[in-house]
Structure 1
């Protein structure tokens, strides 16, 4: 992937008087800087191998997983092409949208799963491979970058069935139909627990119910039709929301049914 991104920048530098060797080294350094990495003695991109140990190979793997995220192959190809075009003339990633894609990917990918999947893949191939420590470079990028994270789960004010119980700004609802509605960017997940005796699930689009939890079954917009009734013993319902596989709830709210 580094070679793909470098190509346009290398061509531009050569056309402006740099030697091929100089252009390759400069382009590689500029790309590493995008990912908050500085390593002047790193090997040429073509000589890096994610199945080998060492910091250089860990850097390649870290950049690869940040670029890939949860993107499809066509989307990844488009991202690589857009980054290559953006950095061609000045070596800097100026697009806020592209930068946000990178930090969104970095924050949403599950590093332990990536390592496990790679180890299983090589084991299946009969190869004894030690995956390099790529995690530290992904976390370094997350901690240091100025790119803006935009991969937040959205909670609209209403859904198909009525007012949205997940609307963070509303705490009072009337008897009748309501929605459990969220819009999930690619790579995100959601789990919701609702407590109370006056909440009744009905129609479902995009949720799975397991162990008393509502779990997102897909990304995009998901909606669950439900019915609220006043309860003379307890008018209050508590909602606990767990985002992106969190063990502890990300946020919670208490609602009243009038």
Structure 2
């Protein structure tokens, strides 16, 4: 073990993209919905991508103070309603169907390595999400994807969206842990950059197909993160061993 290094007491995880395949899950759900409703000609992958494309801009309205605090479920709903005309659906969906599609974000499937990796990490560390998803969304996602959380942390408790520092600081305060006792695990370099700036430990888990086959961002680590691993299973290998920890940098 490198001199001065101490393993964390808690691991906080980004969720969308890092632990669950939001794109593949949404496309599967949307296609199934379209088949059931006879809407086979709709560009469902395009709708999934456009929906996610409004994710950051909708939160930026809250981050900037241009609008009051609004939970992600409501932002997702507004974004979907704005997109329906573009995909020829504005007059074709009932209110309960729209609500069902929004709830699809509560039923995202995990990446293949997540179940085994988190189960092993849970034996040694306190685990929690640190997501922009609201508490109800995270609670339902925990049950659907069988994520072994000890508690639910994230944006709604801080009333800020990542990467605002308040999200990370609120989580650490609630856990009563110092930054160096907490590790942020994410597939997004900007998430880790904010965590590291606040003194947290960091681990990068790339998800090169999060945004589909033509993804151009977050394909590799672009910072000096404490760990760079290929999967949550590899992170468990590195953190749960009984020997020395060989930290990867960059």
Same fold (TM over 0.5): no
Task: Determine which structure has the larger strand proportion and give its number.
Answer: 1
Superposition TM-score, scaled by structure 1 size: 0.21
Superposition TM-score, scaled by structure 2 size: 0.22
Task: Determine which structure has the larger helix proportion and give its number.
Answer: 2
